């Protein structure tokens, strides 16, 4: 039974002695930096909606500048109804 028990290798760290499990590599600083570089970018502040030009949903509710006035009976006005 003593042969089945293996002692783990140990590595000194800033917080004390830590055991190293066989087959498991410690996470190094280059590993952490590579993981952060591969992560998608996150905005620092919440983004404002794009309410300009093509993406302005409120502008779609505006009337045309040169649109003819609606007819008194509520029927649509066509170009021949002048």
Give the pLDDT band of residue 1 (cuts 50, 70, 90).
Answer: very low
Q: What is the pLDDT of residues 55-80, one digit of tens each?
A: 777 776 776 777 777 777 877 766 66
Q: What is the pLDDT of residues 20-53, one digit of tens each?
A: 888 888 789 999 999 999 999 988 999 887 777 7
d(C-alpha 28, C-alpha 82), whole Å: 79
d(C-alpha 23, C-alpha 47), whole Å: 44
Which one is predicted more confidently, 36 or 2?
A: 36
Average pLDDT in the chain: 79
């Amino acid at each position: 039974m003593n042969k089945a028990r293996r002692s783990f290798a140990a590595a000194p760290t800033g917080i004390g002695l830590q055991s190293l499990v066989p087959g498991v590599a410690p996470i190094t600083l280059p590993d952490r930096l590579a993981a952060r570089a591969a992560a998608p970018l996150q905005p620092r502040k919440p983004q404002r909606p794009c309410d300009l030009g093509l993406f302005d949903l409120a502008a779609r509710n505006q009337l045309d500048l040169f649109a003819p006035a609606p007819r008194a009976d509520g029927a649509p006005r066509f170009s021949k109804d002048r």
